[in-house]
Amino acid sequence: MVNLAGQFSMMVLVAGDEDAIERLRADLPDLAARSRLHAELVPAAAEAARRADAMPFHLTAKAMDQPGLVQSIAHVLSALSVNIESAETRLAQAPFTGAPVFDMEMDVSVPRETCIATLRDELGSLCRDHDIDWQLTAL
């Protein structure tokens, strides 16, 4: 879940047999009406699950806050078929100046066919351009 400029957002991945999923689908309109929330059920693609042929990594990034940081990093990862398994972002204040500092942690799955050196080069280039301190660590 995340707070985006006063808007709350949450995504949940659920699994169940066909009957349980159908009950969720049937009850969703009532939940949305009673809670006044936008709610939808979207089937996950088979490849959306963590792939056995992928390597797990932890990515951290820290920079002065600026629009588009998450999108830029996600774009690089997507271009190399890297799956974001989990992501957490925070906004803190820099010591002394109080300037907003963006901090992000991601667990990602890198397909075995993706060259890690290429991933590091692409992330490095992006992070140099945006003055982002970053680290990519194998899990």
| The pLDDT value given to residue 109 | 93
Q: pLDDT tens, 101-118?
A: 999 999 999 999 999 999
Identify the pLDDT of residue 68. 86
- What Cα–Cα distance (Å) separates residue 16 from each residue in 32, 33, 42, 43, 48? 21, 24, 14, 12, 16
Res 66: pLDDT: 86
Domain range summary for the chain, segments of one domain joined by + = 2-44, 48-138
Is the CATH code 3.40.50.2300 the one for domain 48-138? Answer: no
Do the beta carbons of residue 122 and residue 79 sit within 8 Å? yes
* Residues 100/65, Cβ–Cβ less than 8 Å: yes
The pLDDT of residue 53 is 81
Give the model's pLDDT for residue 12. Answer: 76
Nearest to 93 by CA among 52, 65, 71, 60: 65
pTM summary value: 0.65
As a whole number of angstroms, the distance between CA 94 and CA 100 comes to 6
Phi/psi of residue 112, each to 5°? -60, -25
pLDDT of residue 3: 57
Ranges under pLDDT 70 in the chain: 1-8, 45-52
